Amino acid sequence: ARKDLGRHIMTTKIEHHAVLHTCEKLEEDGFEVTYLDVDQNGRVSANQVKEALRDDTILVTVMYGNNEVGTVQPIDEIGELLKEHQAYFHTDAVQAFGLLPIHVKNSHIDLLSVSGHKLNGPKGTGFLYASKDVKLSPLLFGGEQERKRRAGTENVPGIVGLKEAIKLSSEERDEKNEKYQSFKTIVADTLENAGVAFE
């Protein structure tokens, strides 16, 4: 059962500032944050999460795909590990969303963030997925919009644009992924031909 007790948060050292600066602010507010190291490939392991996990951990936030080098984190394994723990599992899926098939239920993700403009959608839009058992306090006050979590009249053109961007990006997802994988092969081959070791 989720009790939401504790002040310990876990994240990684390679998050986007959207997460890192938020964690720093939470530290100022009295939360304790563990910043996990990554290996030479920029990856954290579920085992590192397991070792740093405490009874009072309330949130684990690990990005899905990295915005600098593209490393994909072991989200399924981390989700599986946290399934029976009180900590909510958030993933910053801003980079991964348009490229990888994501299943929040299968991966036991409680919270997932996506930004519209990274999908070629309108700037200033995005969405937060929250599973039914996550209790969220309002980010803004002054209205009942967005289930009382984000007050203010909705940006309808932005929402419609975001929906269209999601539709287009999911149609093109596999094709785009294949294209990017071929870029990776070209870079790897070029480096190898130049005598650079490449993993």
- Residues near ligand PLP, by CB under 6 A: 16, 18, 63, 67, 92, 94-95, 115, 118, 126
Q: Measure Cα distances from 38 to 45, 90, 158 in Å.
A: 8, 18, 36
Closer to ligand PLP by Cβ: residue 85 or 163: 163
In angstroms, what is the minimal distance from the CB of 23 to ligand PLP? 13
In angstroms, what is the minimal distance from the CB of 87 to ligand PLP? 20
Distance between first and last Cα of the chain: 42
Both structure tokens of 11 = 């994240």
Closer to ligand PLP by Cβ: residue 123 or 179: 123
Q: d(Cα 94, Cα 18) in Å, to the nearest integer?
A: 10
Q: Measure Cα distances from 163 to 71, 76, 173 in Å.
A: 26, 26, 15
Closer to ligand PLP by Cβ: residue 18 or 69: 18
In angstroms, what is the minimal distance from the CB of 168 to ligand PLP? 18
What residues have CB less than 8 Å from 115, skipping those under 6 apart? Answer: 94, 125, 126
Closer to ligand PLP by Cβ: residue 79 or 126: 126
In angstroms, what is the minimal distance from the CB of 128 to ligand PLP? 12
Closer to ligand PLP by Cβ: residue 48 or 71: 71
In angstroms, what is the minimal distance from the CB of 76 to ligand PLP? 19
Nearest Cα to Cα of residue 23 among 61, 52, 50, 49: 61
